[in-house]
Amino acid sequence: MTTRSPIAKILGAASIVAAVSSNALAADLEVTIQNLTQGMAFTPLLVVAHTPDASLFEVGEMASPEIQAMAEGGGLDGLATIGSSISADAVANPAGGLLMPTASTTATFTTQDTNSVLSIVAMILPTNDGFVGLDNWAIPTEAGTYTVYLNAYDAGTEANDELRGGGAPGVPGMPVPPPLAPNIGEGGSGLTSSITNDTVHIHPGNIGDSDPTGGVSDVSNQIHRWLNPVAKVTVTVN
């Protein structure tokens, strides 16, 4: 069984496309991500081509602090700057902000031949620590267009209380950026204060309620529910 290193060991500066060695074979990629949900938004996306012995996250394992920061508050700084042992090719925030329901965005970049797998992450709002994720998808070697559907994951780092909050790692509550505020309630008592699974796992989904000024949740059960998959990824290899 191959052990993959955490993202801290694969990412350099992911806020720009990483430089490609002139000695390496390369592939030109177009990666289009579409938000398939009715009422959920994706925070700035991170699209990364990297070596297969590394990963951004592992289902069934504890989330790294960098994944926690992304899943609870949408922050990419830790993922984009920590570690430099592997030269990943990456694009951060191709949408220039939130990716709203039904919207699409495209990341275009060139990958080194050693960076043969693709990973994608972004927080899903409104959630406590939910994120959309693609983990180590093998980039095809033949030119063509390929489609992948992505699930929503729970980082397992915060209780899903479904209440408004600031989004700082380790602090309860969901961040609510201005574009989402009109549809998010307040005054809920909270669905739970417990974490039932502290590893990365398939997100159980929002429960919500129909009371915008009370109830148990600040999430609308008519707007913020979803079923997997939550995103469609179209990869064009040139």
Q: What is the pLDDT of residue 84?
A: 39
Mean pLDDT for the stretch of residues 72-90: 75
Question: How many helices and strands in the chain, by DSSP H and E?
Answer: 2, 10
Structural domain range at position 212? 1-238
Task: Round the average pLDDT of the chain to a whole number and report it.
Answer: 88
Cβ 165 vs Cβ 74: under 8 Å? no
Which CATH number does the domain housing residue 169 bear?
Answer: 2.60.40.2130
Residue 7 pLDDT more than 80? Answer: no
C-alpha to C-alpha distance for 190 and 78, rounded to whole angstroms:
29
Burial of 196 per CB tally in 10 Å (0-12, 13-18, 19+): exposed
How many domains does the chain contain in total? 1
Cβ 137 vs Cβ 119: under 8 Å? yes
How many CA atoms does the CB half-sphere of 198 hold within 13 Å?
5
Cβ 206 vs Cβ 225: under 8 Å? yes
Q: What is the pLDDT of residue 81?
A: 62
* Amino acid letter for position 75: G
Q: Mind listing the pLDDT tens digit for each residue in 173-231?
A: 999 999 999 999 999 999 999 999 999 999 999 999 999 999 999 999 999 999 999 99
Q: Residue 71 in 3-state DSSP?
A: helix
